[in-house]
Amino acid sequence: MTQPDTWYVAFGPDKTIKSDDRATVVVRSTRTFKTETDARLFTIQILAKGWSANAGTLNPHQPKRTIAASQIEDWAGLASPRERTERSRPFVPHR
């Protein structure tokens, strides 16, 4: 028996496409993967195109994981260690 896909990556361009005068369409696609590594490698290719992406595990896989678009570069390993440290610090407003 083959291993089922357990990860997904949803992706698409960062812009909307105007289909006519009345409607705009956001084009998004989803691919599934057997491993988190495969999903990460695909995500790196998508981000290199300048597109946005989010990822996560498919039901009923446990533990459930979701990676928001704002976290995708960290998850894919593209953010530098300095960027990761700066993002993890809490926001403190200046007085």
Domain residue ranges in the chain: 7-14+25-87
Question: What are 12-53's pLDDT values in tens digits?
Answer: 987 665 666 666 767 889 999 999 999 999 999 999 999 999
pLDDT at 4 over 70: yes
CA-based angle 43:69:84, to the nearest 5?
85
What secondary structure does DSSP assign to 24-71, as a single string? EE---EEEEESSHHHHHHHHHHHHHTT-EEEEEEPTT-SS--EE-GGG
Question: What are 43-66's pLDDT values in tens digits?
Answer: 999 999 999 999 999 998 888 999
Residue 38: CB atoms within 10 Å: 15
What pTM was computed for the model?
0.73
More confidently predicted of 34 and 83: 34
